[in-house]
Amino acid sequence: MFILSEDSQRTQGRDAQSSNIMAGKAVAESVRTTLGPRGMDKMLVSSSGDVVITNDGATILNKMDIEHPAAQMIVEVAETQEDEVGDGTTTAAVLAGNLLGEAEDLLDQDVHATTIVEGYHEAARIALEAIDEQVVGSDVDDDVLKQVAESSMTGKGTGGLTAEALAETVVSAIRHVDGEDGVARDNVNVHTEVGASSNATEMIEGIVVDEEPAHDEMPTTVEDADISILDVELGVRTGDVDAEYSIESIDQLNTALDAEESELRGYAQTVADSGVDVLFTTDSVDDRVASFLANEDVLVFDDLNNTDARKIASATGAARVGALDDLADSEFGHADRIRTESYGGEDLVFVEGGAAAEAVTIFVRGGTDHVVDELERTIGDALDVVATALDSGEVVPGAGATEIAIADRVRSEAAGVEGRKQLAVTAFADALDIVPRTLAANTGQDPIDVLVDLRAAHESEGRAGLITDGESVEIADPIEHGVVDPADVKREAIESATEAATMIARIDDVIAAE
Ligand code: ADP
Ligand code: MG
């Protein structure tokens, strides 16, 4: 009796497990070489020829065209990691792959998948406790935040900038949006602009929008600016009905033109009289109105898109005005400075230090698209980790030290676990070794030797990581070398990797429709 269509493919039992595990491991393996300060980059070329050069695990996995459903689950591990904490994506994917590898060995030894799953969950619980113990101090000050930012940047493209300078920018941006309700991460914008060297990257206290002044003769910089956002057209009113004028003499024509002219002049006068310095309108402004306002030194941007209008309103506290007659200073917003600058033929407007300027913008420069794009990802990660660290106030040692400590703890608690589950708990600890081993391999060291040395140093000194500092690589205390990661990044990596690995290991039947 057939219950499946003839075309569907079915794999069962060990074969199904093996093929899923292999696929999951293969994906994790593909990002392994990018881990850590000496991690290599990958060049991804899409079918349409677009090139992305990156070191970011989540970006690599996202751009790879992965079809295998089990492999896809590892991609999701990286995505979850990115969404939840913004960093540690490679770590999470590599860990998931190694948990699968260890599971495979256990299955070969006839340990049942359910036992493995239970053992892994037990081990993950112990691991989370171990992370709590690794949390250092309680004071997450600017220095620690800078270290967190720098640690997240190592191995990534920072263009011609030093990680230190970039870390400083990132920390001041996050500090700027840190309020009573925690870090308003969304108020930090990143604006990229190809052209100058990345050294020109800077933080702007305010926002940057892509808009052009309505007239060439308008001021390019306005200090201490009163700002209004108008949703009205400033042009000759065209009636609803098609009216036809028959003009029979030059005089009549002149009268008609005069009437039009004075209507426009009236609009411009209303604007000028209101005392507004910078006017943004979501509708169009007639050239004659613009020219008149240019004479009055009013800076006008017309045909504003709605997103920009909203951004400007929230950054400056300006109300949206729906009728010209309502233009009054009670509705004005304020900025310390508004300036327009031209970049490669495009005009950009910088709205700085607004009355309600809660937003900041990191204005990223770089010589090429690739540099700028990777810089944007690097900054994005750094912003996320600094926000995460500041929100939770918890950091742990990086450079593999936390993983060594967790593995040690899981291994010693394994002894108390009954039956075959104990094998799975120990296997989980072995899987954790992948992080220091990979950091070692990526710095050209022997992974086994390093592992042995790290364990010995952990035993005697307490904290031991494989620190890369410029050209040198040594085993030392990561805290003393400023290599720290937010505790939440480690927690999330353990949780999402365990979840994916156990989910994949539990599958013993794959039914695929053709
Ligand atoms: P992920 O995508 O997992 O964040 P990364 O390539 O960013 O991968 O590498 C992160 C790892 O590199 C973390 O374990 C972090 O502690 C470690 N790391 C960061 N800076 C250093 C350093 N100077 N020396 C050694 N390890 C470092
Ligand atoms: Mg990272």
* Tens-level pLDDT at each residue, the chain (514 residues): 667 777 777 788 888 888 888 888 888 888 888 888 887 877 878 778 888 888 877 888 888 777 788 888 888 888 899 888 888 999 999 999 999 999 999 999 999 999 999 999 999 999 999 999 999 976 788 888 998 898 888 777 676 777 888 899 899 999 988 888 888 888 888 888 888 777 778 888 888 888 889 998 999 999 999 999 999 888 876 655 555 667 677 777 777 777 888 888 888 899 889 999 999 999 999 998 999 999 999 999 999 988 889 888 888 888 899 888 888 777 898 999 999 988 877 888 999 886 655 788 888 887 788 888 888 888 988 999 999 888 888 899 999 999 999 999 999 999 999 899 999 999 999 999 999 999 999 999 999 999 999 999 999 988 999 998 878 889 999 999 989 999 999 999 999 999 999 988 888 777 777 6
Q: Which of 381, 384, 485, 488 is catalytic?
A: 381
Q: How far apart are CA 247 and CA 255, in angstroms?
A: 10
Examine the residue annotation and report whether 89 is marked as an active-site residue of this protein.
Answer: yes
Closest-approaching ligand to the CA atom of 395 = 1
Contact in structure between 205 and 176 (CB atoms under 8 Å): yes
Ligand 1 atom 19: residue of nearest CA: 151
Residue 354 CB–ligand 1 contact under 6 Å: no
Question: Which atom from ligand 1 is nearest to the alpha carbon of 155?
Answer: 6
Q: Which of 54, 59, 90, 498 is catalytic?
A: 90
Contact in structure between 55 and 349 (CB atoms under 8 Å): no
Contact in structure between 321 and 304 (CB atoms under 8 Å): no
Examine the residue annotation and report whether 90 is marked as an active-site residue of this protein.
Answer: yes
Q: Report pLDDT for 238.
A: 61
436 phi, psi to nearest 5 deg: -60, -35
Q: How far apart are CA 134 and CA 97, in angstroms?
A: 24
299 phi, psi to nearest 5 deg: -95, 125
What's the 29 CA to ligand 1 centre distance in angstroms?
Answer: 17
Residue 36 CB–ligand 1 contact under 6 Å: yes
Q: Report pLDDT for 345.
A: 77
What's the 153 CA to ligand 2 centre distance in angstroms?
Answer: 6
User: In DSSP terms, which residues pair with 183 in a beta bridge?
Assistant: 178
Residue 154 CB–ligand 1 contact under 6 Å: yes
207 phi, psi to nearest 5 deg: -130, 165
Q: Report pLDDT for 393.
A: 85
Taking phi over 0 as left and psi of -120 to 50 as alpha, with beta for the rest, 340 belongs to beta
Contact in structure between 169 and 201 (CB atoms under 8 Å): yes
Ligand 1 atom 18: residue of nearest CA: 399
Q: Report pLDDT for 495.
A: 94
What's the 88 CA to ligand 2 centre distance in angstroms?
Answer: 5
Examine the residue annotation and report whether 201 is marked as an active-site residue of this protein.
Answer: no
* CB atoms inside a 10 Å sphere around CB 60: 23
pTM over 0.75: yes
What's the 150 CA to ligand 2 centre distance in angstroms?
Answer: 10
